[in-house]
Chains A and B, each alone.
Chain A
């Protein structure tokens, strides 16, 4: 598994596009931090924080879905997957190795650019609080984590890069862009007593939504969700909140990986 991780890391970090991400993140964060220069300081959920969270929610999932799915379909198309099938390597090891390489590379480039932007922000006089910085950073890393895993799953289903791109954009559009509208539309159709459990189910089904709600609640701004989320706010603010997040992430990894491995087994022809 270590060799797969290393190979994925080298392949990723030697691509020019990898450094384009670095420039993109530095540019986006620096501009957002500079936007807040005249405000008192970034320490909780403000309109600027909301903008940053939204931009992260738009960009990170799309990029990660495409990177994850391409990483698999590229190997299916290039013949590397077939060649690897002639080696004594298990599919879970292959999958974990690839995932480890991808997440290391993406987390590294994100961390680096976040650091540069922060330095730029601090030199221009912005006041940043540590919980706020850590909140945004952790939120971003978890978005990278969940959408890379989902991207890998899409890669195992799609046979070509073109199909992977279409499915990545479709999933992104559904989970990120259309989700709130779809949720309101569906909730308008169901009887009133079902709204509350359906909203909670929807939150669990969409990892981006789960992370967004969790982050905002951790910043003591859970009130913006209204009364329907009172129980969730209470739960996430209690001692069990972080345990739930960890449990959710582990369960998500196990479920999505298991499905992906099933698909890859079928791709091995035997």
Chain B
């Protein structure tokens, strides 16, 4: 469960995020949509505990990072947008390294490698992976320990249509297991498929929050695209 209360971010001369509040229950999926500079990544970094929250607070499973950092970070899995992995590490080593901080077993590392279609590349250095493969690996790092909150910044960047489909199915399964998911994307079809709530952001403000009441994801996608177009115009 995520409980965000009045978090804000001001850089030297610019407000990146105006006071923002949001609650997400267990097993809920929140999708952040909006153009560049809308404040999506800033908000996700605050939830991940790597950016100050101003006067506000972020609680994960009722734990505040300022009071118990160790417990807070044990609940989350974070996939950053901008990340350059150690090129000379081997795929298995990369996941083993991050998994070791959360006592993840080697069998789980191998399971994630197989699910993410990286089995054929498991003994190769990261520098030999394509952009899409690196994205999958980075997602694997976040998901490895089965966290109760998954925070993903533009996770579909660089994925081909097949892997976007696989990713959608995977997120649905993860959601069903009770994990709360929050991620940013520009892809309305992905948002329509998995979101329980879509939040539109613009210039550091939440402009609209739409609940997914549609049985058919396509109808929801049409609605989202309409809203998106309206905002862009």
Contacts and interface: CB of A to CB of B under 8 A. Distances in A.
B202 to A, nearest CB: 25
Among B49, B76, B86, the most chain A Cβ lie within 10 Å of the Cβ of B86
A130 interface: no
Chain A contact-residue range equals: 20 to 34
A269 B54 CA distance: 11
A10 B89 contact: yes
Contacts of A80: 83-86
A231 B77 CA distance: 59
B84 A79 contact: yes
A86 interface: yes
Contact of B73 (A79, A82, A88): A88
Interface string A244-270: 000000000000000000000000111
Contacts of A83: 78, 80, 83, 98, 141
B52 interface: yes
A7 B101 contact: no
B193 interface: no
Given A79-B80, A87-B102, A268-B50, A11 B86 contact: yes
B89 to A, nearest CB: 7
B74 interface: yes
B101 A88 contact: yes
B97 A11 contact: no
Given A7-B86, A11-B88, A88 B50 contact: no
Interface of A: 3, 6-7, 10-11, 14-15, 77-80, 82-83, 85-89, 268-270
Interface of B: 45, 48-52, 65-66, 69-70, 73-74, 76-78, 80, 82-86, 88-89, 93, 96-98, 100-102, 125, 141
Give 10 nearest A-B pairs by CB, closest first. A14-B88, A78-B84, A79-B83, A87-B101, A3-B100, A86-B78, A82-B50, A88-B70, A85-B50, A269-B52
